[in-house]
Structure 1
């Protein structure tokens, strides 16, 4: 088993390094390294960008982690919740066929739609399937089918052309020493951190949050103690859908809105929750932040196209040392 893990890490390292070697063979620009005092400024800028990217991943990944913690379902359709939120806000805000709302009410409406979509998926798909005793493998396959369905519905309705929101599109960066950040990016980062703190307070300080943690720890015991498990699961789906939609709006604001943006972000979400510890909301936050920082910091030495690969390599290395993740609990097998 240990040899297999080492082989997996070595193979991942080879896959990561191969494009860089190929680029050098073609005579392209070599990876950037530390060059004089300017490297410190670039490193700080990459750190700030990584924190911003990490908190956006964390917002989208928390719901995915909570769903796994409560019903042990790996939801491949979660990325489409991100896309639905971003594209619906774009329709309300910047689409020629839309009402032309300001981005703030459009984002609120997108979050509400994401929560309703999560509730509809739970009540219309997962609850009937669980009532029939459908196995987890079959449910996992259904999530893939639901992901493809939602993605192509968005493709038909939205199209393939990338779009940008009408407000906060082009801004000048604020210089904070060697670091530059636009008011839009700073606002997105601060709001994302506040939302994550709000989720933490919800889970720790409210009755609903206590019920969610109880169901995640032991579903049968929670139900025996009088907790309405079905209502808790419905709440988790609504919370996850709303957070995913909000993360989609944030991601579309700092990048662009595309029909497959959630699918592209899904791998980073999975990396964050696995790195932090499956089923742990706080682990998803911590793991996503690490993934975002590593992805951006890697661009100091290697091409931007490889930033996701290095983030996944860190995931493999950490799991070799701590298989349960950063904040996960070790479990006995057998």
Structure 2
């Protein structure tokens, strides 16, 4: 046996050992969650998460006001008791829409816009329906004060500006994950379904270092970035490179990625449970910039995303490895014939993709907010949509596609229910591909 073959096999064993160590790390530090099956008198299933409060008018409780909660496929309803108190249990920490049935309010009485709880974001231009989300705990108190007068509405332009900024924020963090997945596809032609779990891994590592081990947030973020890079390196060295060298086709590799995705996802679920866990500082008080409401975390997230994207652009256009990456994406056979070490470049791409996915996972945990076992899977379809929309295999196309998807998702809530906002991005994808099948920045390919 030649020393070269022996060294390669030794490297593969080290990569497999690294992947095993990373999974063992998750097993040791994460604990399974448990659910409760109790119910309340009005039929609600008791969970660890609920919204509650008191509805008053002129400092007197108001009985019989109907409250509804919608979001994440869940819908619940209750009404205030004789003391004006109400409580609604939800299955998990997420963003929800709380609506007060105006027909159950006393005549001439509205929800006072000036006295809404801090951070409340009105929906559809009225104060009777608004977005609510949890803070660091599983309880959110929403005391509502009623007043007399006419309904205060938010103008369409103000709502549009607010949604545009929210869509830009979402599009930037989506771009981090999409650009990494696009680079993998460009260099290997692999549609990596396990990319979702690379996003989840970044959030989990940050959660372990901060919430479990009580270490500073900056250290958790550094650990997530390093862990993401190691995870990407280990996946290529331990799984994808050996499979490529065995001559597996693209369809076979894609099926392997689907199986790997399922395995990793349910390993995460088993050890972290089905609940959503918070990173430090989640759900901060928003800052008003006219009609636009942003928290300091939103501002930091947008700044970090832009800085990282500019760094990736510099890497691809100004460095030797970046130029080699683009050469392999254009023509891998010609790149190899010109002396480029294709396997080495692909290894760097996997490391970079892991880092970008980890950063996106941390930002996604603050955007939703919360770390959950399937948080990456919730982004996967949008990642593929952004890559396809921008043009397969091009990182800059993935960036453009992500920005379009993010803005469309958020702005579409002005006309469609929030539960359907992700579907609106797919509709735009279909329409654009009917006009430009190769994507916005993709190149036409000759078939046959």
- Identify the TM-score tier after normalising by the shorter chain: 0.7 to 0.9
Single out whichever of 319-328 and 33-42 deviates more from structure 2: 33-42
Q: Report the aligned-residue RMSD.
A: 1.9
Q: Which residue of 2 aligns with 1:281?
A: 395
Residue 33 of structure 1 deviates from its aligned partner by 8.4
* Runs of 4+ residues over 2 Å off in structure 1: 31-37
Q: Which runs of 5+ in 1 are unaligned?
A: 1-18, 20-27
Q: Which residue of 2 aligns with 1:173?
A: 286
Q: TM-score scaled by structure 2?
A: 0.66
Q: Over residues 199-247 of structure 1, what are the superposed CA-to-partner deviations in whole Å (9 max), with x where a residue is unaligned?
A: 0111001111111111111111111111111100000001001110110
Residue 171 of structure 1 deviates from its aligned partner by 2.0
> Contact 1:171–1:184 (CA<8 Å) still a contact in 2?
yes
Q: Which residue of 2 aligns with 1:301?
A: 415
CA distance in 1, matches of 2:125, 2:304: 33
**What's the secondary structure of 1:175's corresponding residue?**
strand
1:60 aligns with 2:174: no
**What's the secondary structure of 1:94's corresponding residue?**
helix
CA distance in 1, matches of 2:290, 2:168: 17
Distance change >3 Å, CA 251–CA 37, structure 1 → 2: closer
Q: Which residue of 1 aligns with 2:202?
A: 85
1:202 aligns with 2:315: yes
Q: Which residue of 1 aligns with 2:446?
A: 332
1:75 aligns with 2:188: no
Distance change >3 Å, CA 64–CA 184, structure 1 → 2: same
Q: Which residue of 2 aligns with 1:230?
A: 343
Residue 169 of structure 1 deviates from its aligned partner by 1.8
Whose Rg is larger? 2
Q: Which has the higher strand share?
A: 2
1:116 aligns with 2:233: no
Q: Over residues 125-166 of structure 1, what are the superposed CA-to-partner deviations in whole Å (9 max), with x where a residue is unaligned?
A: 111111111111111110001001111111122211101112
Question: Which of these residues, 310, 328, 336, is aligned with residue 215 of structure 1?
Answer: 328
> Contact 2:225–2:358 (CA<8 Å) still a contact in 1?
yes
Q: Which has the higher helix share?
A: 1
Residue 37 of structure 1 deviates from its aligned partner by 6.5
Single out whichever of 42-51 and 128-137 deviates more from structure 2: 128-137
Number of residue pairs matched by the alignment = 303
CA distance in 1, matches of 2:271, 2:351: 23
**What's the secondary structure of 1:196's corresponding residue?**
helix
Q: Over residues 69-114 of structure 1, what are the superposed CA-to-partner deviations in whole Å (9 max), with x where a residue is unaligned?
A: 001011000000000110111011112xxx2112221011111111
Q: Which has the higher contact order (CA 8 A, sep 6+)?
A: 1
Q: Which residue of 1 aligns with 2:252?
A: 138
Residue 32 of structure 1 deviates from its aligned partner by 4.6
Q: TM-score scaled by structure 1?
A: 0.87
Q: Which runs of 5+ in 2 are unaligned?
A: 1-72, 74-100, 103-122, 127-151
> Contact 1:86–1:249 (CA<8 Å) still a contact in 2?
yes
> Contact 2:201–2:228 (CA<8 Å) still a contact in 1?
yes
CA distance in 1, matches of 2:209, 2:124: 41
> Contact 1:111–1:245 (CA<8 Å) still a contact in 2?
yes
CA distance in 2, matches of 1:290, 1:93: 33
CA distance in 2, matches of 1:301, 1:274: 25
**What's the secondary structure of 2:351's corresponding residue?**
helix
Residue 36 of structure 1 deviates from its aligned partner by 7.7
